[in-house]
Amino acid sequence: MVISKASSESDVSIHSTFASRYVRTSLPRFKMPEASIPKDAAYQIINDELMLDGNPRLNLASFVTTWMEPECDKLIMASINKNYVDMDEYPVTTELQNRCVNMIAHLFNAPLGDSEAAVGVGTVGSSEAIMLAGLAFKRKWQNKMKALGKPYDKPNIVTGANVQVCWEKFARYFEVELKEVKLKDGYYVMDPVKAVEMVDENTICVAAILGSTLNGEFEDVKLLNDLLMAKNKETGWDTPIHVDAASGGFIAPFLYPELEWDFRLPLVKSINVSGHKYGLVYAGIGWVIWRNKEDLPEELIFHINYLGADQPTFTLNFSKGSSQVIAQYYQLIRLGYEGYKNVMENCRENAMVLKEGLEKSGRFNIISKDVGVPLVAFSLKDSSRHDEFEVSDMLRRFGWIVPAYTMPPDAQHVTVLRVVIREDFSRTLAERLVIDILKVLRELDTFPGKIPVATVEEKHPGKTKLFANKSAEEIGRAITTHWRKFVMEKKKMNGVC
């Protein structure tokens, strides 16, 4: 089953443009063509279609790295045909992965002796890393409950409602109840007090987020640890903590080294981080690190020998490319602690430039925090006439991709725009974005405001049937689109040929 929807359903063929120099017949869109075509034509056809994709550098919705040094690009292309899982055939790649695991474990203050190896694995991204960490917690909890002679069929995990969708996937795919701490106006991360109150004997772990996707804020892992230790002592349980540091794991050690969130806290048993976010590697690499060997049940590790020597593996997939692992090692040794610190400080400074520019306009409330992931989340002070979705939509005319979204329960009435500051987002771009946002606001100010549905029904009885089964957001956007079209048509009629 194809889940995503085709962008064009009106034509089942792909028509060539410059490729007509090589081929004159169109290609089937959803079936493999019968005959081969020249490599130049295949390249041209695909390249022409890809022109309509957005510019990754201007995609401010994404945390994922969009630029690396040319030297690293060369390493990636040279190793793109290596299968990461074939450890016997590519022992050096395996060694580089192990070095990365140990470097990251030390960065997160894992309690390792001088000659002790860290426990961890490279993954496709933080989603796979979270699945693996969650499975380890579930299996450890099941083993404990079996030993106590207690039921082990109803595990749960406690998180904030602000968690990324991969946590919901883990809960649904692996049959774990997800107990979410609801948000509230002005407080958009998990409340540690409420989280600990929700913990019971069936809780396999509490998941804290170091860098919320919604506003970049770090959750208070230290307070969570202290409260949970007190509850464990009172109840006799040993509920642990997992830290989802997908976004913040490569930020906090360099910008906030005194902040206690990692293995310095005794209940933190595992941490995941996205190498393809602020680890500064292209999409496709994540890491999960365990505090020590006892926190990863041995029965979850598979040992295979049909690729050569004995190879332990703990992944959800099997074959994958080696390029991103090698790229991660390149960044770690190329930049070192000093280099990562410089990059993160620069990102933070550019975020402050954007924040200050938005504040000077007097039109926005800043939702993000100064301490956290270098991003700026903001909302309109007055959204009675026009909303954040319209601002996001109109910014695309300038090439900017700035997402607008509503907060999770119980703060869903708050709508936010978010700009993620990555290494390739300069101060000049930050200043340009502020200028373009102000242009959009001035243009929106000339458009009629949103019309309440009650007013439409009063003046045009029966017309609101057009809005049946639509959300307030969809209704508002439909009305705005109608008025914008009306205004633009009026402008055309009044223009001079």
Amino acid identity, position 298: E
Whether 303 shows a pLDDT value over 90: the answer reads: no
pLDDT for the residue numbered 429? 96
Tell me: the pLDDT tens digits for 86-139? 877 888 999 999 999 999 999 999 999 888 899 999 999 999 999 999 999 999
Buried b / exposed e along 18-31 (16+ C-beta atoms within 10 A)? ebeeebeeebeeee
pLDDT for the residue numbered 468? 56
Q: Read off the pLDDT band of 301 (50, 70, 90).
A: confident
Of the listed ranges 421-425, 431-435, 469-473, the least confidently predicted one is 469-473
Whether 428 shows a pLDDT value over 60: the answer reads: yes
Given a contact cutoff of 8 angstroms between Cβ atoms, the answer to whether 291 and 270 are in contact is yes
Tell me: the pLDDT tens digits for 51-61? 888 889 899 99
- Tokens encoding 107: 């960065």
Given a contact cutoff of 8 angstroms between Cβ atoms, the answer to whether 280 and 324 are in contact is no
Can you tell me the mean pLDDT for 195-205? 98
Q: Read off the pLDDT band of 469 (50, 70, 90).
A: low
pLDDT for the residue numbered 483? 56
d(CA 179, CA 158): 5
C-alpha separations of 119 from 126, 142, 268, 290, 433 in Å: 16, 21, 14, 5, 43
Q: Read off the pLDDT band of 466 (50, 70, 90).
A: low
Give 264 or 459, the one with higher predicted confidence.
264
Give 209 or 476, the one with higher predicted confidence.
209
Whether 484 shows a pLDDT value over 60: the answer reads: no
Can you tell me the mean pLDDT for 139-164? 97
pLDDT for the residue numbered 496? 39
pLDDT for the residue numbered 11? 64
Tell me: the pLDDT tens digits for 346-384? 999 999 999 999 999 999 999 999 999 999 999 999 998
pLDDT for the residue numbered 313? 78
Of the listed ranges 115-129, 157-171, 266-280, 310-324, the least confidently predicted one is 310-324
pLDDT for the residue numbered 73? 97
pLDDT for the residue numbered 10? 56
* Residue with tokens 């083993």, as numbered in its chain: 143
pLDDT for the residue numbered 492? 46
Tell me: the pLDDT tens digits for 212-260? 999 999 999 999 999 999 999 999 999 999 999 999 999 999 999 999 9
Residues sharing a CB contact under 8 Å with residue 442, sequence separation 6 or more, in sequence order: none
SS (H, E, C) the chain: CCCCCCCCCCCCEECCCHHHHCCCCCEECCCCCCCCCCHHHHHHHHHHHHCCCCCHHHECCCCCCCCCCHHHHHHHHHCCCCECCCCCCCHHHHHHHHHHHHHHHHHCCCCCCCCCCCEEEEECCHHHHHHHHHHHHHHHHHHHHHHCCCCCCCCEEEEECCCCHHHHHHHHHCCCEEEEECCECCECCCCHHHHHHHCCCCEEEEEEEECCCCCCEECCHHHHHHHHHHHHHHHCCCCCEEEECCCCCCCHHHHCCCCCCCCCCCCEEEEEEECCCCCCCCCCCEEEEECCHHHCCHHHCEEECCCCCCEEECCCCCCCECHHHHHHHHHHHHHHHHHHHHHHHHHHHHHHHHHHHHHHHCCEEECCCCCECCEEEEEECCCCCCCHHHHHHHHHHHCCECCEEECCCCCCCCEEEEEECCCCCCHHHHHHHHHHHHHHHHHHHCCCCCCCHHHHHHHCCCHHHHHCCCCHHHHHHHHHHHHHHHHHHHHHHCCCC
Q: Read off the pLDDT band of 205 (50, 70, 90).
A: very high
Given a contact cutoff of 8 angstroms between Cβ atoms, the answer to whether 217 and 239 are in contact is no
Can you tell me the mean pLDDT for 15-38? 76
pLDDT for the residue numbered 89? 83
pLDDT for the residue numbered 310? 61
Can you tell me the mean pLDDT for 26-50? 87
Whether 403 shows a pLDDT value over 50: the answer reads: yes
pLDDT for the residue numbered 491? 44
pLDDT for the residue numbered 433? 97
Whether 151 shows a pLDDT value over 90: the answer reads: yes
* Residue with tokens 């607008």, as numbered in its chain: 404
Can you tell me the mean pLDDT for 41-65? 90
Can you tell me the mean pLDDT for 176-197? 96
pLDDT for the residue numbered 188? 96
d(CA 93, CA 89): 9
Tell me: the pLDDT tens digits for 436-457? 999 999 999 998 876 554 555 5
pLDDT for the residue numbered 473? 57
What percent of the chain has pLDDT above 70? 84
Whether 179 shows a pLDDT value over 90: the answer reads: yes
d(CA 9, CA 25): 19
Tell me: the pLDDT tens digits for 377-402? 999 999 989 999 999 999 999 999 99
pLDDT for the residue numbered 115? 84
What percent of the chain has pLDDT above 90? 71
